[in-house]
Amino acid sequence: MEFEQLKAKIEEQQAVYHALKEGDNSMVCYKEYQNGEWGTDDENYTNRLRLAYYLLYCHIEDEEVAASLFEEELKDRERNSFQGIGSTLRVLTHLIRKYNADGRYTALLERAKNANFDCACGYNPNEEVDDDLESNSILDCIYLCREMEYKDVMGVLVDEWKKNTAEWSGSNRKTLIDFNIFLGRDMENEGLYREQLEDILSTENSSTRDIISGYKNLIRYYLHMGDYGNALCFCKKVIETTDYKQIRTLRLFRDILEVCFELIAKDAKAGASLWSWAKTELQKVPQSSRYGNLYTKGIEAANAMDDSYGRQLEQEYENFLESSRIG
């Protein structure tokens, strides 16, 4: 079933393919924009990926289209602020290599190798790509749907995978949490995060690191969902029941400080009982171990509590930024 639904979705790219053959490359040409997260990006990356998979899995032998898509993909790899390699480049490399017996694409493949730092380190122009869709497992198909942003088919396949999963390990739950986040099914993750934490707490010899991490993930979930009551409850539990002193010097402990500050800033009334503890713990963190998010969230919490410590943190943050610029 999973192959039929995914194949039908991929075959929808036939319309884009025919448009390209008639001279309209507007859906797949490199189209630069600033994404507001990491910088320069390409609006048509996913469209090009979808068409590349269409050529691969529907066994379309078209040298001209494959080469054209490859050149558009190179523009993205060379200019994208994230750099990266990506499945599009890997699939298109596989496709044009079929036509390179006379070396006509050797220079283009070399250009891909030098497109960015990631390509220089990890791009393999001789990498084999399987063109048999049915060789993929249901999980493979889910990941393909996520890559191509086919959320409708992905949702159906995730439900099928859940139904056929006999044993729910921590790894399987984490995978399902990630799928639910992508699909916008965040409400379904509360029980999964709770089960993850319960498993850790019930496992003999669980490390403090794992326990703190389990609490942090659950608290962040509640903050994301706006459930400040439960966020406060689990913040208090981790403070009262965990020997966090063992990890005070680690980033993970400062992650707990961050979520406490977030809660205080978002709901000062609920978080007021955390402020004294969180403020004291932040003061124990050497300035050399502090970082941007810790400062900004600490400042927001201090301001929400109308504590003059916020002004001290603002000055320290300015000093931190200045030293970062100099460095």
Domain boundaries, the chain: 2-135, 226-327
Distance between CA 29 and CA 285 in Å, rounded?
A: 50
Token pair in block for residue 171: 């790894």
Q: Is the dihedral of CA 44, 50, 54, 55 positive or negative?
A: positive
Q: Helix or strand or coil: residue 116?
A: coil
Residue 134's Cβ-count burial label (10 Å; 0-12, 13-18, 19+) is exposed
291 and 257 Cβ atoms separated by less than 8 Å: no
**Beta-carbon contacts of residue 170 (< 8 Å; ≥ 6 apart):** 196, 199
Q: What is the pTM of this model?
A: 0.90
For residue 38, what pLDDT is reported? 86
Q: Which two tokens stand for residue 53?
A: 């998979």
Q: Using CA atoms of 149, 81, 325, 284 in order, give the dihedral in degrees to the nearest 10.
A: 30
| Structure-token pair, residue 156 | 């159906």
Q: What confidence score (pLDDT) does residue 327 get? A: 56
Predicted local distance difference test score (pLDDT) of residue 252? 85
pLDDT digits (tens, 9 = 90+) for 44-66: 999 999 999 999 999 999 999 99
Report the distance separating Cα 28 and Cα 236, nearest Å. 51
Q: Please provide residue 34's backbone torsions phi and psi, each rounded to the nearest 5 degrees.
A: -100, 115
Residues belonging to the chain: 327
**Over the chain (327 residues), what is each successive 10-residue block's mean pLDDT?**
86 98 98 92 98 98 98 97 97 97 96 97 96 95 98 96 93 97 98 97 90 94 96 93 78 91 92 93 92 96 96 96 80
Residue 1: its pLDDT value, please?
61
What residues pair up with 40 in beta bridges, in sequence order? Answer: 34
Look at residue 236 in the predicted model and tell me its pLDDT.
Answer: 94
Give whole-number Cα distances, 3 to 9, 48, 70, 155, 316, in Å: 10, 21, 26, 14, 56
pLDDT at 55: 98
**Amino acid identity at 150:** Y
Rounded CA-CA distance 240/268 in Å is 20
